Amino acid sequence: MEKNTTNASRRDFVKKATLLSSLPFVSSFGILKNFQGEKVRLACIGIGNQGGNDVMSMSKTGLAEFVAFCDVDMGASQTLPVLQKFPDVPRFQDYRVMFDKMGKDFDAVLIGVPDHSHFPITMHALKSGKHVFVEKPMARTFQEIEIMMAAAKKNPKLVTQMGNQGHSEGNYFQFKAWKEAGIIKDITAMSAHMNSPRRWHGWDTTIKSFPAAESIPSTLDWDLWHGVVQKHDYNKDFVNGQWRCWFDFGLGALGDWGAHLMDTAHEFLELGLPTNINMLRADGHNSFFYPQSSTIQFKFAARKDMPAMDITWYDGINNLPPLPDNFGNSALDPNIPAASNGKIQSSNLNPGKIIYGKELTFKGGSHGSTLSILGDSAKDLKLPEVPVSPSNHYANYLKACLGQEKTRSPFSIAGPLSQVFSLGVIAQKFNAQLDFDPKKKQITNHKEANMMLQGPAPRKGWESYYEL
């Protein structure tokens, strides 16, 4: 692995990035007007694994015309389903070449790549005047998300959407309706739990270095795969979803499932950013990959007429949250999506959440699963009618590009949520309690952790993405 940049260069980067995030956004490419047609001309970046699933989901809406496909591992087995279904779509390995050669031919992009590459590709698209759908979480570092939100704000005609698909399903509309009707009120605590096996479970937690170098597959552009991140020697445990295991590339279980469990509570309870992030458990803590089990407490201040609230995150097979006496059935629901490694859930509790109010306790699952009220408290309540979603998450994005709807998870909504995850990851990295100032957006009790809000300086040649 190459040596990291010097502390001095990192300090220069942090200073410059902090300054630039407050400047007006000036695109060198201009801004496209919303494309008023029957279909959105779409370029897809990342067409294997989850990115491939996203391509197929966009196709099913009938609202997308695929103009270009791009993947750093174009032709690898995980890209073949998309290539075989759409054999005539032009193919690229470098998204920068795709923009240069075909940028005038598409209006919007779909980005389904590893977490560490969300930021540069999104910024390239926004600077090129393209609408953006990017998978969750928005980016790897707090500052990258900050810059992405600033870029979107300076370009209000551009549509943005983060890929937390449950944000367009039943849970979104139910939570909104119940909150507005006063059913969900006076919430003081919530637990969010994802207790299925993860890719790094069982790895050697006494690790002292990254895995040994292996031969790079002939289909893969390993240098480009890194994007802004300092280069590592190739190993199969860095690619095809394995990137999620490592602090250098992904955001672990929290970044993978947090948006599927916490998004509606975060939005409709107007939580914003936390004041404290406390590591309560970190089994197998090390400096390279995520703990075998993590319990992270996020403390949020009182908002308007809403009391202070804690969200406690639990991951790890044997790290279940306390359950209320009237919790009921905890057997696995076959309708809950499998973990990203494709394995069947094997813990004794669904991924889900428990929301505690002063009067009512709510039980929910992940993604679009709706809430139920525990006990007999609901029998005398007049529950409001919950609207049916007019469009799934992919159609919502495409219809927004066509000027027919507004996205439900734009960067202004998804950004602060993703920043909560980046703060949780910093707490995991240092296995520490962090005090955070939401107004100054600084960690006030841990100098090294505060530096991680910006993350390491980008690789040479990739600095321009941090310039607004």
pLDDT at 325: 85
Evaluate if residue 20 carries a pLDDT over 50.
no
Q: Which two tokens stand for residue 444?
A: 């006030």
Range in 110-124, 137-151, 296-310, 315-329 the model is least confident about:
315-329
Residue 376: Cβ-neighbour burial (10 angstroms; 0-12, 13-18, 19+): exposed
Looking at residue 250, its pLDDT comes to 98
Residue 218 has pLDDT above 50, yes or no: yes
CATH second-level architecture of 7-167+394-414?
3-Layer(aba) Sandwich (3.40)
* Token pair 């993604």: residue: 367
* pLDDT in the model for residue 12: 57
* Contact of 349 with 180, CB cutoff 8 Å: no
The confidence band for 114, taking pLDDT boundaries of 50, 70 and 90, is very high
- Paired residues of 40 in beta bridges: 64
C-alpha 50/C-alpha 137 separation (Å) is: 13
Using 50, 70 and 90 to split pLDDT, how confident is the model at 116?
A: very high
β-strands 442-443, 434-437 pairing: antiparallel
Q: Edge to edge, what strands does the sheet with 160-162 contain?
A: 91-92, 64-70, 40-45, 108-111, 131-134, 160-162
Q: What percent of the chain has a predicted confidence (pLDDT) above 90? A: 84
Residue 36 reports pLDDT greater than 70: no
Q: Is pLDDT above 90 for 94?
A: yes
Average pLDDT of the chain to the nearest whole number: 91
pLDDT tens for 396-451 read: 999 999 999 999 999 999 999 999 999 999 999 999 999 999 999 999 999 999 99
CA distance 330 to 258: 20
Residues 6+ apart with CB under 8 A from 205: 284, 285, 286, 292
Does residue 21 surpass a pLDDT of 50? Answer: no
The per-residue pLDDT for range 169-203, each reduced to its tens digit, is 999 999 999 999 999 999 999 999 999 999 999 99
Closest to 73 in 3D by CA, of 94, 57, 42: 94
At residue 328 the predicted structure's pLDDT band, cuts being 50, 70 and 90, is confident
CA distances 455 to 177, 230, 298, Å, are 39, 11, 21
* 35, pLDDT greater than 60: no
Q: Residue 262's pLDDT is what?
A: 97
Q: Which of 16-30, 281-295, 345-359, 392-406 has the lowest mean pLDDT?
A: 16-30
Q: Which tokens go with 308?
A: 């202070």
- 3-class DSSP assignment, residue 372: strand
DSSP state of 153: H
**pLDDT tens digits for 291-323?**
999 999 999 999 999 999 999 999 999 899 999
Contact 167, 160 (CB under 8 A): no
Q: What is the mean pLDDT of residues 56-61?
A: 98
Give CA angle at 450 (448, 452), nearest 5°: 75
CA distance 63 to 117: 26
- CA-to-CA distance for 105 and 67, rounded, in angstroms? 7
Segment 316-345 shows an average pLDDT of 69
Please list, in sequence order, all residues whose beta carbon lies within 8 angstroms of the beta carbon of residue 322, skipping any fewer than 6 positions away: 191
Closest CA to 104 of 129, 86, 72: 129
3-class secondary structure, 339: coil
In the prediction, which pLDDT does 347 show? 55
